[in-house]
Amino acid sequence: MKSKYLLLSLTAAFAVAGCASTPSQQSQEKPPPKANRVQILMYDTTPRPATDHLDVCGSNPPQRPHKVIALLTCEGAVNQEVVMTRAIYYRARQIGADAVMNAGTINTEVDTLNVTEGVVQQAMMSGLGLGSSARSVFRAYAIVYTDK
């Protein structure tokens, strides 16, 4: 009778263990807003598994031996820096980056009024600034460490 319970317990334990998901499957995060807008220029197309951790190096390269594998960009309004940066970091982890380094931000102004009516010139001369909206392209380099 004891061997029957032991066998039943072992069978149940193996069934539960066989159905458990791996840690990477459990930790798959939902894509943040604007992640689909991130454009990636791959410098190294070696397939890499997605990473869970990402070092943020600012504008200085990491001290460890490394290789830049991609440039990631995301265009949006100036006040969307946090949203765009989060999307870039998410995409960097998807392509297997160990770290990201700031590649600078490009700021532009987009004219939205019809210039032929002369409204833009008058608005600019009066200091109102009507018809323009500031846009930025947020950029980062994706990096992998070569000493792993």
Predicted confidence (pLDDT) at residue 50 exceeds the cutoff of 80: yes
Question: Where exactly are the structural domains of the chain?
Answer: 2-145
- State mean pLDDT over 36-51: 96
Predicted pLDDT at 107:
87
* pLDDT confidence of residue 148: 79
- Residue-wise pLDDT tens digits, 65-98: 999 999 999 999 989 999 999 999 999 999 999 9
* Strand, helix or coil for residue 120: helix
**Whole-angstrom Cα distance, residue 106 to residue 74?**
10
Burial label, 29 (beta-carbon count in 10 A; 0-12, 13-18, 19+): exposed
Question: Is the pLDDT at 126 greater than 50, yes or no?
Answer: no
pLDDT at residue 5 greater than cutoff 70: no
Q: Tell me the percentage of the chain whose pLDDT exceeds 90.
A: 53
- Note the pLDDT of residue 6: 38
| pLDDT confidence of residue 52 | 93
pLDDT recorded at residue 132: 52
Q: How many H-runs (helices) and E-runs (strands) does the chain carry?
A: 4, 5
In the structure encoding, which two tokens stand for residue 1, read together? 């009778």
Looking at the chain, list the stretches that DSSP marks H as alpha helix, in order from N- to C-terminal side.
Answer: 2-19, 23-26, 81-94, 119-125
